[in-house]
Amino acid sequence: MESMMIYMPIAMALLGLIYMVIKQKWVMKQNPGDGKMKEISDHIYEGALAFLNAEYRLLAIFVLIVSIALAAVSFIVPTTHWLIVIAFVFGAIFSAFAGNIGMKIATKTNVRTTQAARTSLPNALKISFGGGTVMGLGVAGLAVLGLTAFFIFFFWFFMGSEWTNTMDMTIVLETLAGFSLGAESIALFARVGGGIYTKAADVGADLVGKVEAGIPEDDPRNPATIADNVGDNVGDVAGMGADLFGSYVATVLAAMVLGNYVIKDMGGMIDDAFGGIGPILLPMAIAGAGIIISVIGTMLVKIKSNDAKEAQVMGALNVGNWTSIALVAISCFGLVTWMLPETMKMNFFGEGLQEISSMRVFYATLVGLVVGAVISSVTEYYTGLGKKPILKIVQQSSTGAGTNIIAGLATGMISTFPSVLLFAGAIWASYAFAGFYGVALAASAMMATTAMQLAIDAFGPISDNAGGIAEMSEQEPIVRERTDILDSVGNTTAATGKGFAIASAALTSLALFAAYVTFTGIDGINIFKAPVLAMLFVGGMVPVVFSALAMNAVGKAAMEMVQEVRRQFREIPGIMEGTGKPEYDKCVAISTEASLKEMMLPGLLTIGFPLIIAFVPMIFGMNPLAIAEMLGGYMAGVTVSGVLWAIFQNNAGGAWDNAKKSFEAGVMINGEMTYKGSEAHKAAVTGDTVGDPFKDTSGPSMNILIKLTCLIGLVIAPILGGHSVETGLAQTATTEVVGDTYAKKVYVDFIIESDEFAKAVVSITNVKGEDISKEELVVSGTKKEVDAKISELKGQATQFKMDVTDKRPNEVK
């Protein structure tokens, strides 16, 4: 059983995917309605596919370029294996495929939900949530399948499927990082491009349609209306899916890297029933279990009464969600105690090796689950209808757009307070429990329910679309009422889902950051070194500039849309009378092209900065470890600032949105009921205009920015530092020294060894009866200097009547 554990996650992923296919077939069998309903739905479906196809074409070019770059790197740098290219390509393909499944099912489910809503609310929920489930399982299943399959392959390829040493495993995991990089690259296109798409279409449709032509929202005469609906799917479904796909893969990968490091701390080898790789397998096993748990969770989401209201629907979702979180906690307990050695040794910076019991790792996973749950409540508090911050924004709308904007900005800014304290507490606690392995496993546990989270999340835009189709196809009011109930719940889950996505991105980045430090072999990132501090500043600036570029991109893309809609209104005869047919596809094409074009600059910023920081100083001959530390400072800056700006922008945007929505039911301002159309409402609409790119474009893009930055760092880590750069040479030299009064062991571990530069940690263990003390000396300098110093140390040892034995145990394959 234990030895087969490596195949467990793959089996679970396949089970999840099988269930997904069954669910997909079931959804597709549902009645897709008729006539106009079907027509509109088909338009949305085709528009979404058009975007995907355009995106994939661009992606293909991007993947090709990056592949060539990676291949070149793997050719030049001996420690980087060319298989990373294959992993990268497959990471991109798997993520794109998952996005494809999600978009297709979402755009097929919407009309079926409308049709079901004609007769039954429970059925409508069942179908819309079924669509969400397909999306969720597709993403999670493919993520686990791909990552695990490649791990098994690389483990066989590099190590013959048997434990050799941590150095070989590092190569396995470094190559595996390509898969994660591929996945996250797709996320860049899907999340940032999608974000620009959805807002460009939205703003463009509103500006000409509602404002200039005076026709209502979702009016079929507006050529941009289909693009607008496509946008909901592109941004909220595909974007979110790609985001979480990337987080999922990166989290598990980072935890595996840190698991390997635990083994290293335990002496480079452990004796367990899992072939000596229990700590590495554990995060994959948790991910695998999470898929099955999510399946169970989704099965629990159902309502019975046709007269159910929001509270019942929300309740049904909560039952599923909380059950899966509880089940993940239980399975974590089981897996941790089963798969990990009862006591481990972990190296805590500045505190040396400590003994960590497996129970403490379990506590770390609980920290992750708590964070996932609490961040949703925090987000809900700052952005939820009827909550205090929203009511305050509503009040401030009465004195104009200016005060509304200030109140919204302030709300978003203040919301960073509990969120950041929560993250900081989580980092601290999970680290205190089990070091950075604990931080990574906290993230893994939180991400285990990804399929469930995505199902809850995707159900929102599906219901939103269903409502739009009901409106456009002029259904009876009861249909719209039913979809509105689902849509309203969907709005709440969308906000909390964004909180989950930020939390996952933040923890993932931290885990990647930790993995990066261990990969490069630096002794930490000391911001008291000025170049590192300078890069911390630069890193902090990048999310701010990225957000600005994304916001400007929306503006530019929207302007192109405006011009196209104006042209159609002008040139197509009878379009306003409903006799001429608008060219929906042209608007879709414009949104598609503009969004992909406009995401280039922010994308370049994301990818370019870490590369410049890594390679420009290298050209000038800077010490690679110093560069690694600088890049680490940059990564930390991007992460800290990116998380802050993500929370700020998402919550400010969400708050403005709901402040505006509050006017629909009417709000009490200065003792007067105020409704839509009032001056205060207009001010709130202005706030929402500002909030739209915040919450749907620049805010969510931060997730990708921080993860991708850390991943790029991880992929170039072997170039900067890591293990030996001379293939075929020994990595470590062990010198055992036995003196006359006590045994002394000198262990020399080369962190880096090239012609120009070498760095070695010399551990000196003094044994005197029962007492063991340890001291470490770091020796660095030119290869020659370091060799000299080590000879000198050895010399001293022999001189003082100690025997010296020299070992070079590990040959790199």
- CB nearer a copy of itself, residue 416 or residue 674: 416
Sole binder of a copy of itself in the list 161, 526, 782, 798 (CB under 8 A): 526
| 586: contact with a copy of itself by CB under 8 A | no
Q: Which residues pair with 736 in a beta bridge?
A: 745, 805
Nearest to 478 by CA among 662, 314, 311, 307: 307
**The dihedral of CA 563, 568, 571, 575: what is its sign?**
negative
- CB nearer a copy of itself, residue 119 or residue 763: 763
CA distance 505 to 450: 12
Show the binding pattern over residues 610-629: x = contacts a copy of itself (CB under 8 A), - = does not: ----------------x--x
Q: Which residues pair with 353 in a beta bridge?
A: 347
Enumerate residues 126-185 that contact a copy of itself by CB under 8 A. none
- Minimum distance between the CB of residue 534 and a copy of itself, rounded to whole angstroms? 4
Enumerate residues 21-60 that contact a copy of itself by CB under 8 A. none
Sole binder of a copy of itself in the list 690, 704, 746, 760 (CB under 8 A): 690
How many residues in the chain? 813
Q: Which stretch of DSSP H or E encloses residue 738?
A: strand 732-738
Give SS3 for 86.
helix
Show the binding pattern over residues 347-386: x = contacts a copy of itself (CB under 8 A), - = does not: -xxx------------------------------------
Sole binder of a copy of itself in the list 152, 314, 527, 730 (CB under 8 A): 527
| 607: contact with a copy of itself by CB under 8 A | no
| 410: contact with a copy of itself by CB under 8 A | yes
Q: How far, CA to CA in Å, does 147 sit from each of 176, 274, 303?
A: 8, 18, 36
Query: Are 627 and 613 spatial neighbours (Cβ–Cβ below 8 Å)?
Result: yes
- Minimum distance between the CB of residue 645 and a copy of itself, rounded to whole angstroms? 9
DSSP conformation letters of 368-414: HHHHHHHHHHHHHHHHSTTSHHHHHHHHHHTT-HHHHHHHHHHHHHH
Query: Are 308 and 121 spatial neighbours (Cβ–Cβ below 8 Å)?
Result: yes
Enumerate residues 784-803 that contact a copy of itself by CB under 8 A. 789, 792, 799-800
Show the binding pattern over residues 741-780: x = contacts a copy of itself (CB under 8 A), - = does not: x-------------------------------x-x-x---
Sole binder of a copy of itself in the list 8, 21, 414, 572 (CB under 8 A): 414
Sole binder of a copy of itself in the list 160, 428, 665, 804 (CB under 8 A): 428
Which token pair is 356?
Answer: 């960590």
Q: How far, CA to CA in Å, does 411 sit from each of 343, 597, 679, 752?
A: 46, 32, 22, 48
| 646: contact with a copy of itself by CB under 8 A | no
- CB nearer a copy of itself, residue 424 or residue 665: 424
- CB nearer a copy of itself, residue 416 or residue 678: 416
CA distance 538 to 532: 10
Contacts of 392 (CB under 8 A, 6+ apart): 407, 411
Which token pair is 644?
Answer: 């802050």
Query: Interface with a copy of itself by CB under 8 A: which range of 39-47, 320-328, 335-343, 510-518?
Result: 510-518
| 416: contact with a copy of itself by CB under 8 A | yes
DSSP conformation letters of 473-513: TT--HHHHHHHHHHHHHHHHHHHHHHHHHHHHHHHHHHHHH
- Minimum distance between the CB of residue 51 and a copy of itself, rounded to whole angstroms? 24
Sole binder of a copy of itself in the list 296, 311, 548, 772 (CB under 8 A): 548
Cβ neighbours around 579 below 10 Å, total = 9
- What amino acid occupies position 811? E
| 478: contact with a copy of itself by CB under 8 A | no
| 514: contact with a copy of itself by CB under 8 A | yes
CA distance 439 to 254: 10
- Minimum distance between the CB of residue 351 and a copy of itself, rounded to whole angstroms? 8
- Minimum distance between the CB of residue 775 and a copy of itself, rounded to whole angstroms? 6
Nearest to 749 by CA among 726, 779, 771, 770: 779
Count of residues binding a copy of itself (CB under 8 A)?
86
- CB nearer a copy of itself, residue 555 or residue 580: 555
Give SS3 for 48.
helix
Q: Which stretch of DSSP H or E encloses residue 33?
A: none
- Minimum distance between the CB of residue 270 and a copy of itself, rounded to whole angstroms? 23
- CB nearer a copy of itself, residue 396 or residue 450: 396
Show the binding pattern over residues 435-474: x = contacts a copy of itself (CB under 8 A), - = does not: xx--x-----------------------------------
CA distance 411 to 656: 9
Enumerate residues 74-133 that contact a copy of itself by CB under 8 A. none
In angstroms and rounded to an integer, the radius of gyration of the C-alpha atoms of the chain is: 28
Enumerate residues 650-689 that contact a copy of itself by CB under 8 A. 685-687, 689
Enumerate residues 306-335 that contact a copy of itself by CB under 8 A. none
- CB nearer a copy of itself, residue 6 or residue 409: 409
- Minimum distance between the CB of residue 631 and a copy of itself, rounded to whole angstroms? 13
CA triple 30-35-36, angle to 5 deg: 105
- Minimum distance between the CB of residue 98 and a copy of itself, rounded to whole angstroms? 31
Sole binder of a copy of itself in the list 632, 700, 721, 722 (CB under 8 A): 632
- Minimum distance between the CB of residue 460 and a copy of itself, rounded to whole angstroms? 24
User: Nearest 5°: phi and psi at 353?
Assistant: -70, 135
Q: How far, CA to CA in Å, does 175 sit from each of 337, 707, 727?
A: 29, 18, 16
